[in-house]
Amino acid sequence: METEDHDAPDDVPPVWMAVSDLMAGLLGVFVLFFIWGAVAQAELSVSLDREKEARAVDRSRLDALETALALPLSQGRISLVNGRIGIRGSVLFDLNSAALRPEGDALLGELAAPLGRYLGAEPEIIMVSGFTDDLPIHGKLAAFADNWELSTQRALTVTRALVAAGLPPTFLFAAGFGEHHPSVPNLDPVSRAQNRRVEIVPVPRHRDGSHRP
């Protein structure tokens, strides 16, 4: 009696071919991931290099600004931290007044040129901010309704003085914060004097020319 031949049909591929296709697919995926990783690493390296260059430029500009302001800094008339210029209110104004003292007017005249060089063609604009202590303004003879109005008027006075000293009006804007953003707690006359201040701060400028505080 003859036995039947039960061999697999000729059209069924051998197992080794399926394994070969699988390995080829895995190799392709590995190559793709390798290429993606190499491209990502190259982009990260370029990004880091650009960041280092930008920081070096910013540091150079800050150093130049600090050098230009060396005299008022050494005299304690201003402070400079990361490009933020702080001016004590007593240097600029008498108590509860928004009229510049002669000393304050002269100081702002000294600041205008270095600020103009600092800004240059950079996409930044100057925000002039006024701040007060927490003591309310009161009395029938008070020139301002509240600390909001006083701080805003002081910021406007400083802004106009900087424009008069040569800064283009498009380089800066004014803002008043009243007593709501103290630099130190209002505990005594010394701390309150610290909070009566004006700050001159570079902020980014939108491409359309508007500012972003």
The CATH code of the domain that includes 141 is: 3.30.1330.60
Same domain for 136 and 117? yes
- Do 107 and 199 fall into the same domain? yes
Domain C-terminal end among 45, 68, 91: 68
Q: Tell whether 97 is covered by a domain.
A: yes
Same domain, 95 and 180: yes
**Look-up: residue for tokens 């895995």?**
26
- Asked if 117 and 157 sit in the same domain, the reply is yes
Q: Quick check: is 1 in a domain?
A: no
| Segment (H or E) for 85 | strand 84-88
Strand order in the sheet with 78-81: 78-81, 84-88, 197-204, 124-131, 172-176
Is 129 part of a structural domain of the chain?
A: yes
Is the same domain home to 97 and 121?
yes
Q: Are 114 and 166 in contact (CB under 8 A)?
A: no
User: Would you say how long the chain is, in residues?
Assistant: 213
8 within domain boundaries: no
Q: What is the largest CA-CA distance in the chain?
A: 130
- Do residue 160 and residue 120 come from a single domain? yes
Assess if residue 7 is contained within a domain. no
| pLDDT for the residue numbered 212 | 46
**Residue 168: both structure tokens together:** 């283009």
Closest to 62 (Cα-Cα) out of 104, 118, 12: 118
State whether 31 and 119 are in the same domain: no
Is residue 134 classed as helix, strand or coil in its secondary structure?
coil
pLDDT category at 42 given cuts 50, 70, 90 is: confident
147 is a domain residue: yes
The whole-number pLDDT of residue 167 equals: 93
Q: Per the domain annotation, does 178 fall within a domain? A: yes
Range of the domain at 194: 78-204
Same domain assignment for residues 150 and 174: yes
Look up residue 141 and give its two tokens.
Answer: 């003879």
Q: Are residues 24 and 120 in the same domain?
A: no
Classify residue 93 by its DSSP letter: B
**Are residues 124 and 175 both part of a single domain?**
yes
From residue 116, how far is each of 43, 144, 165, 171 by CA, in Å? 35, 32, 10, 8
Asked if the structure places residue 2 within a domain, the reply is no
Spatial contact of 107 and 161, defined as CB atoms under 8 Å apart: no
Query: What is the value of pTM for the model shown?
Result: 0.69
Question: pLDDT tens-digit profile of 98-122?
Answer: 999 999 999 999 999 888 888 775 6
**Chain centroid, CA 178 distance in Å:** 22
92 and 127 within one domain = yes
**Percent of the chain having pLDDT more than 90?**
43
Q: Which of 23, 48, 68 is the last residue of a domain?
A: 68
Q: 139 and 96, same structural domain?
A: yes
Say yes or no to pLDDT of 174 above 70: yes
More confident residue, 213 or 33: 33
Cα–Cα distances (Å) from 162 to 58, 86, 108, 210, 213, in that order, read: 23, 15, 6, 19, 19
Question: What is the number of structural domains in the chain?
Answer: 2
